[in-house]
Chains A and B, each alone.
Chain A
Amino acid sequence: MTDSILRVQNLNVTHASTPILRNVNIEIPRNKVTVILGPSGCGKTTLLKCMNRLIELYNGLDISGSIYLDEKEILNSKNDLTSIRQKMGLLSQRPYPLPMSIYNNIAYGLKIQGGLNKSEIADKVSHYLKIVGLWDEVKDRLKSPASRLSIGQQQRLCLARGLAVNPEIILADEPTSALDPISSTKIEEQFLELKKEYTIIVVTHILRQARRLADHVIFMYLGEVIEQGTPEEVFDNPQSPTTRQYLKVGH
């Protein structure tokens, strides 16, 4: 396949002898939208959280295997965790705006990173708000609390916030499941635009969304990767009976 930015090798995650992820081996192509598809509980979110090592927040998990970002191992690395995490932006199912103003939500990551003066930060804030299409809607109330935005606006804000720290990859965990159809469409459009500069990994259980977005598909079931490939390969010519069954029932 073309140049892959992320490579997961023999990833196993167990919780008290119940396996959550089993022998996951996948490659994520650069500057493409990869969709991780599968029913609820198949381990998609866990896989995502391994990539930016948020999995470490959860106790009692046994993790083995390796993950390579640009050929550098990151799962077991003792190196600076914060810089690893900054390379990947996270978009959750429900938007979680930081308890601050709209402006500060985006400025937060920049201030943490450091190295920018006030006007540079202001420039970036407006830049990223424009990218996600929020600028016109919020430019007069940048100092008001982010919690007052509608849920669709909040999700776009979270996207802008994640982009502002200049990640290479965007991890999106069912990013439209809490949104109305119009906001969902906006987010999906954003993804298609953004893949020119970033690599996007979207976790979803909505078949139609996967079809709309994917350049590369990974189908998972009960913690294992069943099939991966191009949309034509997986959707039109599924090899595994599990995949075929899912495609029949899924929506």
Chain B
Amino acid sequence: MPVSKRKIIDTISHGWMLVSLTVVLLIPFMIGLGLVLKSLPILQQENLLRLLVDSDWHPMKGKFGFLPFILSSVYVTLLSFLIAAPICLLSAIYLTQYARGWLLQVMHPVIDVLAGIPSVIYGVWGILVIVPFVGNFIAPLFGTVSSGYSLLSGAIVLAVMSIPFILNLLIEVFNSMPVELKEASLSLGATHWETIKYILVREGFSGIVAAIGLGISKALGETIAVLMVVGNVVQIPKNVLQAGYPLPALIANNYGEMMSIPMYDSALMLAALILFVIVLIFNVFARLVIKHGGSRR
């Protein structure tokens, strides 16, 4: 191929690369801008703070209090984290420190498969297994009645969904620790477990925090699986066996009606904007911890 033709191809593809890069870099800004623009109508009408702490949600009357949804999101995410984090941490330590090599080999495909399963499938499983479990087994255990569609079901399903993600990150944290650190602790007379408890966990602390932070941000945004099992009742849940209505579920459930009631679409876009901002904050924070936690050495 003559040099000039190669040069032309080079220039074209160079241009194509730059255009693509620009598009990609612009995506979050476009999203943010779009959401803000669509939220403006309701923000002009109401005070943002009032919208966030008000618990009265009656769109037909023009009342848009987001508190029940924000609290539901917080509760269900926190609960799922309480379930998933210890399991993931314990398992990651076991897989990297105690178990034979083949167990880790087996776990990797298990984790990959779990990670690839779509949200809606988890939802189906949740309806088939978790909801009856909570309604027929857990609730009577505590002397209450519950349909099973509850924060707890949402949290369990979310926990199972978050586990592959968090576990993968934690395994990497523990695997990337220098073996010499372990050796140093052991030569001082510590047992394997003491080494893990006092040294490895401390060394990997920033990585652990970041992994959990990322897991939480992913859980906050999970829509379909949670929606299918959490009950979708507009209320501030008083205990985990009651139904909740997290932010993503709010957006997903009501898009059909949003065009017919004034301000509804703007309110839902505001909900999306709130979610977007929270998730971004968590993500940026967790990624920053990863970035600067390792540079101590």
Contacts and interface: CB of A to CB of B under 8 A. Distances in A.
In the complex, A touching B (Cβ < 8 A): yes
Given A99-B199, A99-B203, A90 B189 contact: no
In terms of DSSP, what is the predominant structure of the interface of chain B? helix
A96 B181 CA distance: 6
A158 B205 CA distance: 22
A112 interface: yes
B98 to A, nearest CB: 12
Interface in B188-231: 188-191, 194, 198-199, 202-203, 205
A244 interface: no
Contacts, number: 68
Contacts of A88: 187
A89 interface: yes
Interface residues of A, number: 28
A90 B187 contact: yes
A211 to B, nearest CB: 28
A183 B265 CA distance: 69
Interface residues of B, number: 23
B10 interface: no
A147 B179 contact: no
Nearest to B182: A57
A239 interface: no
Interface string A145-171: 001000000000010011001000001
A25 B279 CA distance: 63
A161 B203 CA distance: 18
A161 B185 CA distance: 10
Interface of A: 49, 52, 54, 57, 59, 82-83, 85-86, 88-90, 92, 94, 96, 98-100, 108-109, 112-113, 147, 158, 161-162, 165, 171
Interface of B: 101, 178-191, 194, 198-199, 202-203, 205, 296-297
Given A147-B296, A165-B188, A165-B189, 19 more contacts: A54-B186, A57-B182, A82-B186, A89-B187, A92-B184, A94-B180, A96-B178, A98-B185, A98-B199, A99-B202, A99-B205, A100-B202, A108-B185, A108-B188, A108-B190, A112-B188, A112-B194, A113-B189, A162-B188
15 contacts: A52-B187, A54-B187, A82-B186, A85-B186, A92-B184, A96-B184, A98-B181, A98-B199, A100-B202, A109-B188, A112-B190, A112-B194, A147-B297, A161-B188, A165-B189
